[in-house]
Amino acid sequence: MINILIVGSGGREHALGWKLSASPGVDSVYFAPGNGGTKNNVDVKADDIEKLAQFAEKNRCLTVVGPETPLAMGIVDAFEKKGLPIFGPTRTAAQLESSKIWAKNFMKRNGIPTARFEIFDEAVKAKEYAKSVNHPLVVKADGLAAGKGVVVCSNQQEVIKAIDEILVEKKYGSAGNRIILEEKLDGIELSYIAISDGNTAYPMATSQDHKRAYDGDLGPNTGGMGAYSPAPIVDDDLAKEIQQKIIEKTISSMKKEGIPFKGFLYAGIMISEGKPFVLEFNARMGDPECQPIMVRMKSDLLEYVQACIHGNLSSLPEISWDDKSAVCVVMVAKGYPESYPKGEEILGLDVEDRDSIVFHAGTRVESGRVLTDGGRVLGITATGNTLQEAISKAYRRVSEISWPSKFCRTDIGKKGIVVTK
């Protein structure tokens, strides 16, 4: 039996802990710092690497890292130096996410399909370039910005505004010291996540995220307003192409460059004119994609995590998945991803519902009451024999939960139904 330490406090971490706790090989699951819905919470922040290591060593834990910040800080390097088992990429490998410029240059030199791009650290030169091209642009901050450092622009004025906000006004701080101006690709976006031991990569279930804040994919980019799995757009041929030309090419190229990648490799993909292009890499499981993926996973996650740590993933069969569809609707505080209230009491969590699971994110418990404590508050996840059935179950549960500033999109999963018609 083994203890697990989950680093992080979001819905992704709650879902990972929920899945790992079902493994017959797991004794206790701890969360650092966790949230209002997780048990065995440890009062240590996700970026306090030394204290996390002390806890993991004292409690003989295998550590699973959820968010990107501790990975970018080198938590895996620090744990490995102490001989502590940990699942995730090293600081150098995590550059695939922590520096969009590093990732774009990596893709360019290794022939991994991605959109055309240019790099700038001066606003004047960036604006000159923006005015010189006749195709739509996406403006990206180089560093980590909690999923919000990407501005998809529909005209030149929006590009100029984004350049000023990131490079001049420092909206994302030092994460925006450099930017990418990237050709905007049209098509259908999807999330393709794999698990890797540095040599082999097995695909997780396909999924599709909803990044924009409002219905119809309108409004600002967020960390994710909901997701569903599987993604009907990914047929066997497309899955094979993504797996070979993007995932396996990335893993083999990282190894060739002396930077083996262990952990969850997330490729944000745009299917444009029938071909997959990488929009971005994440060096960890997506949130909210993690929630529907975990509820569909039939295999024992612990076995695959341990195999990745020990470098023998190929000794296991590919992961087994439930045939059902799963949907996660993210309930947020109104105003997210900008300013929003905190500390509001959440009602309706005690309603019994076998058809859905409530994964907590921005919540905390105070005097026995569950309060909002972040922008993304809850992830209501349900399964169904069809995608429509899963959607209906998830939204039924959403309707039973309330707080004053409650908000969610009403069209999560809808694009999946359109694809299947």
What is the domain extent for residue 9?
2-90
Which pTM was predicted?
0.94
β-pair type (86-87, 61-65): parallel
238 touches 232 (CB < 8 A): no
Q: What is the CATH number of the domain that holds 221?
A: 3.30.470.20
Asked if 193 and 300 sit in the same domain, the reply is yes
% of the chain surpassing 70 pLDDT: 99
pLDDT digits (tens, 9 = 90+) for 99-154: 999 999 999 999 999 999 999 999 999 999 999 998 999 999 999 887 678 888 98
User: Are 144 and 69 contained in the same domain?
Assistant: no
pLDDT of residue 421: 43
Asked if 192 and 206 touch (Cβ cutoff 8 Å), the reply is yes
Residue whose C-alpha is closest to residue 296's, from 252, 326, 265: 326
| Residue 231, domain member (yes or no) | yes
Does 156 fall in a domain? Answer: yes
How much is the pLDDT for 84? 98
- Kindly report the CA angle at 189 between 184 and 192, in degrees rounded to 5? 125
State the average pLDDT over residues 147-162: 89
CA–CA separation, 139 vs 216, rounded Å? 21
Predicted local distance difference test score (pLDDT) of residue 373: 98
Average pLDDT, the chain: 95
Statement: residue 418 has pLDDT above 80: no
Q: What is the pLDDT of residues 371-417, one digit of tens each?
A: 999 999 999 999 999 999 999 999 999 999 999 999 999 999 999 98
CA distance linking residue 398 with residue 328, whole number of Å = 10
Q: How is residue 278 written in tokens?
A: 């990488």
Which domain-ending residue is among 315, 350, 379? 315
What pLDDT band is residue 368 in, cutting at 50, 70 and 90?
A: very high
Beta strands in 319-368 (DSSP E): 325-333, 356-360, 363-366
Q: In this structure, is residue 377 part of a structural domain?
A: yes
Q: Decide: 390 and 419 in contact? Cβ < 8 Å.
A: no
222 shares a domain with 151: no
Q: Does 201 lie in the same domain as 309?
A: yes
Alpha-carbon distance values, 95 to 73, 105, 119, 221, 265 (Å): 10, 11, 16, 22, 12
Q: What is the pLDDT of residue 385?
A: 96
